[in-house]
Homo-oligomer: A and B are copies of this chain.
């Protein structure tokens, strides 16, 4: 195990050097988080398809339980049960538009992970930074349980559990538990836990902060302990079902899947689930007694339980939907936690936008009318009043508005349009609009993935737990 331990020390030191200004020591937070023995227990795996540029290079790393798809290079890193998806990377010959620049993409984009420790983290999308189009880098970074690094090159950062950094280039920052950052480019910031921050410079700035005393019930992270709270209990309770799925080589979903849809063989599908046309169910999604209507999707680490999604609903990475009825084209952002109860169902009207990192946790029935924007922490109808607004009204904001704990500055119209365009793009990329062989997306392309497993050096030497150098090319 010697080399694995050295590698851990090396990563921690590098992150601490980057974060020295913030006087932050990552070591006590992560040094006992994943016992070294645990890192050697799970196979890593990668997908092969006819569609994605193939190029994997793994060197001097541990990849335990992690998944790779697309062009990825991992060096001197520890990736524990992380999902590194490269099926939306830019390809050679693409033209990238940024403001007035039309930038040709010179070579196939690559996700480059160096000197980093990622725990149960999702890395997806592509680098939105015009300065680094061909390399989506993650360097000197430590991330913890269920963090999302989405389209966000990252250097010298620490991510708390269930945090998300989205379409943002980020350097030397601390991102607290359950914080969401979509801000273009940031550096040397300490983002508090529970912050939800969406900024487009010169256009708008949305800022909400979850009340810290109430957030700790959901997620709580202190040195020396694994993350705790409702979010962790919820996923831990459903872990055994995944173990089963990962221990079978040829697993067939116990559900009928239309030819235009795809259900990943590493998803858990419990009984009484129905899958419509053009549906995409990603790896590590969990469906139980639910209906996914045409074009709906369930992305990585989503849980959909006792719920109905009428169609074209987006369930972004890590979102949970329990005992809910979702109208058409409802967007549920990253790591949102929407929990109705058997006798207190949650009903969300069509075309609602549930902001990333929203918690709705009710004990009486609640209805969100169509076309609303919803954010923050909502436990009842009063909270809903304080934490929602119709998209129509929101679009009318022209300079500044505060409501409850939320502050908005800039153009509401630009904010709403931006969201709607993004939702449309997500549905398109996932194949929700597929028809007569047109508009193919992930739902159609992911039907034929070959999975390959890789394992570390076994017991019996200094290299125990390290993976050998592995190079996979066309």
Contacts and interface: CB of A to CB of B under 8 A. Distances in A.
A291 to B, nearest CB: 29
A458 B48 CA distance: 7
A470 B468 contact: no
B451 A452 contact: no
B246 A247 contact: no
B463 A472 contact: no
Interface stretch (A49-57, A142-150, A158-166, A383-391): A49-57
A259 interface: no
Contacts of A468: 48, 54, 472-474
A257 to B, nearest CB: 16
B450 A452 contact: no
Interface in A30-61: 43, 48-51, 54
A449 interface: yes
Given A249-B246, A468-B48, A457 B450 contact: yes
A474 B462 CA distance: 12
Interface residues on A, range: 20 to 34
Contacts of A457: 48-50, 450
Nearest to A250: B247
Contact of A454 (B43, B246, B452, B473): B452
Interface string A456-467: 111111011000
A283 to B, nearest CB: 16
A248 interface: yes
A253 to B, nearest CB: 16
A276 B210 CA distance: 63
Contacts of A402: none
Given A453-B452, A468-B473, A459 B43 contact: no
A471 B471 CA distance: 5
A455 interface: yes
A451 B460 contact: no
A137 to B, nearest CB: 23
A469 interface: yes
A448 interface: yes
A461 B246 contact: no
Interface string A232-261: 000000000000001111100000000000
Contact of A458 (B43, B450, B458, B472): B450
Contacts of A456: 48, 450
The 9 closest A-B pairs by CB, nearest first: A450-B455, A50-B460, A448-B458, A50-B461, A471-B471, A453-B453, A469-B473, A448-B459, A247-B249
Given A48-B458, A452-B455, 13 more contacts: A48-B456, A50-B457, A249-B249, A449-B458, A450-B456, A450-B457, A451-B455, A453-B453, A468-B473, A469-B471, A469-B473, A471-B471, A471-B473
Interface of A: 43, 48-51, 54, 246-250, 448-461, 463-464, 468-474
5 contacts: A43-B249, A49-B460, A448-B460, A452-B452, A469-B471
